[in-house]
């Protein structure tokens, strides 16, 4: 990969050891994937935050780094709600280690907003055509597929390297030729809400690493597109998808079907089947995978009005949105539900204490059993609320 004179200087260590190591990571990635050069990024989003996933080795690595992020850079969810961790049952030791990890990132100029939906807290970090270096797979899918920005799915270290250098290698989803759909998926029947997560659960397995284009009978909201992309990134490795008739489109205009090499149909009965894949009696209901938007919080407030929850009920979102909408949060929490920030039902260590979690997310349906060892059952939003208030 070609490096400019100033990039060569960094690689030679003339701007210090940490930047040298960051440049080594980017140069190695560029060489492996055949990038021609480094390109500037508008923002980065960095995974590898929860102490549950990175442990002491990760804490030590981050603590040894120095430097300052050159572009807005936001963290993925941590293992704790930074203000309410005691109330949620997190141990002192875990909270202390988690605090050290977040502090270490903050020292590098990383914004300590721990969210998988950074696009919901700042409009200026990703716009159509922008190059990014984001890690969280659901955020990568949203950036590529809904915003029309361009990012590969970065690992935590490569996203951090991009933050410190302000650039990323030009390969993969940064290039037009890798953003062309090759799989057409026609979905029969009208979908809404968690149906999109169920669709993603099925479609990701079919698509694998390919770029699918969906033909849908209903028009999804941005939150529904978020749920579809998150589930496909979890059940497969889909980082970019299109919906026929909805922007953003591949470079050159509306979806060109000449590169489609497979066409599949997903019937509504298959989507319905995902709701029945697992059955258990939930002792916790957890929503917000990916983190809830303001619209999703408002809908929950309305559904919970006048009700009292009888089970543990988590609604995960970003701290910025919680702070921005105190009335909505107060309305939700008057039911006894908890609006949980900075963390989620998968990366929190607390979730392993429960036997069965009800979720409305195709991604959580996959990850809760894998990463928490807890059974998971998929429900529609209204079913989740009914279960939380003791209505079965
Ligand atoms: Fe976000 Fe946690 Fe789901 S990071 S996408 S809420 S698994």
**Centre of ligand 1 from the C-alpha of residue 117, in Å:** 9
Kindly list the distances between the CA atom of residue 354 and the CA atoms of 89, 188, 351, 367, 376, in Å, as whole numbers in the listed order: 12, 36, 6, 14, 10
Ligand 1 atom at minimal distance to the Cα of residue 346 = 7
User: Whole-angstrom Cα distance, residue 367 to residue 52?
Assistant: 14
Residue nearest to atom 7 of ligand 1 (CA): 346
Assess whether pLDDT exceeds 70 at residue 112.
Answer: yes
**Centre of ligand 1 from the C-alpha of residue 116, in Å:** 6
- What six digits make up the tokens of 23? 């440049």
- Ligand 1 pocket mutation pick from 47, 153, 346, 350 by most atoms within 8 angstroms of CB: 346
Q: What is the pTM of this model?
A: 0.97
Assess whether pLDDT exceeds 80 at residue 193.
Answer: yes
**Centre of ligand 1 from the C-alpha of residue 367, in Å:** 9
Ligand 1 atom at minimal distance to the Cα of residue 288 = 6
What's the rounded mean pLDDT across residues 108-125?
96
Residue nearest to atom 6 of ligand 1 (CA): 289
**Centre of ligand 1 from the C-alpha of residue 98, in Å:** 17
What's the rounded mean pLDDT across residues 276-283?
91
Q: Strand locations in 256-384, DSSP E?
A: 262-266, 284-292, 312-317, 338-341, 356-359, 375-378
Ligand 1 atom at minimal distance to the Cα of residue 290 = 5
How do residues 51-93 score in pLDDT, each as one tens digit? 999 999 999 999 999 999 999 999 999 999 999 999 999 999 9
User: Whole-angstrom Cα distance, residue 171 to residue 120?
Assistant: 26
User: Whole-angstrom Cα distance, residue 164 to residue 19?
Assistant: 7
User: Residue 170: CB partners within 8 Å, gap ≥ 6?
Assistant: 30, 35, 36, 37, 38, 39
**Nearest 5°: CA angle at 84, between 82 and 88?**
115
Ligand 1 atom at minimal distance to the Cα of residue 291 = 6
Q: Decide: 195 and 227 in contact? Cβ < 8 Å.
A: no
**Centre of ligand 1 from the C-alpha of residue 175, in Å:** 27
- Ligand 1 pocket mutation pick from 47, 74, 114, 116 by most atoms within 8 angstroms of CB: 116
User: Whole-angstrom Cα distance, residue 313 to residue 338?
Assistant: 6
Phi-psi region of 131 (alpha: psi -120 to 50; beta: other; left: phi over 0): beta
What's the rounded mean pLDDT across residues 163-169?
98
Ligand 1 pocket residues where CB is under 6 Å? 76-77, 116, 138, 230, 289-291, 316, 344, 346-347, 363-364, 367
257 pLDDT tier (thresholds 50, 70, 90): low
> C-alpha dihedral over 59, 61, 65, 69, to 10 degrees?
-70
What's the rounded mean pLDDT across residues 146-175?
98
Residue nearest to atom 2 of ligand 1 (CA): 344
Kindly list the distances between the CA atom of residue 167 and the CA atoms of 7, 210, 339, in Å, as whole numbers in the listed order: 10, 25, 35
Q: Decide: 202 and 187 in contact? Cβ < 8 Å.
A: no
Buried b or exposed e, range 201-217, using 16+ CB within 10 angstroms: bbbbebbeebbbbbebe
Residue 335's CB: how many other CB atoms inside 10 A? Answer: 20
């Amino acid at each position: 990969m070609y490096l400019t004179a100033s990039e060569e200087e960094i690689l030679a260590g003339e701007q210090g050891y940490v930047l040298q190591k960051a440049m080594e990571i980017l140069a190695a990635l560029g060489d492996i994937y055949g990038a021609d050069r480094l390109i500037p990024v508008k923002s980065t989003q960095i995974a590898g935050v929860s102490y549950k996933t990175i442990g002491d080795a990760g804490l030590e690595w981050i603590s040894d780094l120095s430097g300052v992020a050159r572009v807005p850079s936001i963290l993925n969810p941590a293992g704790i709600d930074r203000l309410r961790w005691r109330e949620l049952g997190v141990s002192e030791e875990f909270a202390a280690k988690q605090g050290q990890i977040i502090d270490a990132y903050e020292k590098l100029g990383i914004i300590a907003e721990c969210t998988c939906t950074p696009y919901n807290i700042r409009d200026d970090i990703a716009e159509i055509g922008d190059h990014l270096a984001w890690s969280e797979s659901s955020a990568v899918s949203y950036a590529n597929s809904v915003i029309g920005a361009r990012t590969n799915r970065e690992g935590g270290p490569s996203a951090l390297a991009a933050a410190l250098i302000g650039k990323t290698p030009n390969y993969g989803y940064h290039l037009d030729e890798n953003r062309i759909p090759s799989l057409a998926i026609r979905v029969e029947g009208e979908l809404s809400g968690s149906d999109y997560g169920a669709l993603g659960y099925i479609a990701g397995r079919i698509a694998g690493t390919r770029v699918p284009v969906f033909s849908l009978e209903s028009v999804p909201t941005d939150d529904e597109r978020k749920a579809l992309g998150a589930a496909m990134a979890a059940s497969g490795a889909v980082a970019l998808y299109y919906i026929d008739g909805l922007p953003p489109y591949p470079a050159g205009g509306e979806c060109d079907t000449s590169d489609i090499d497979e066409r599949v149909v997903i019937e509504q009965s298959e989507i319905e089947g995902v709701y029945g894949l697992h059955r258990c009696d939930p002792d916790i209901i957890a929503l917000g995978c990916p983190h809830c938007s303001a619209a999703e919080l408002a809908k929950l407030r309305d559904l919970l009005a006048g009700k009292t929850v009888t089970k543990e009920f988590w609604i995960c979102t970003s701290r910025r949105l919680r702070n921005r909408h105190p009335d909505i949060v107060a309305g939700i929490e008057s039911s006894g539900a908890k609006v949980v920030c900075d963390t989620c039902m998968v990366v929190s260590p607390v979730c392993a204490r429960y036997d069965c979690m009800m979720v409305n997310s195709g991604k959580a349906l996959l990850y809760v059993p894998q990463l928490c060892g807890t059974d998971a059952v998929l429900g529609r939003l209204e079913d989740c609320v009914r279960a939380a208030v003791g209505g079965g």
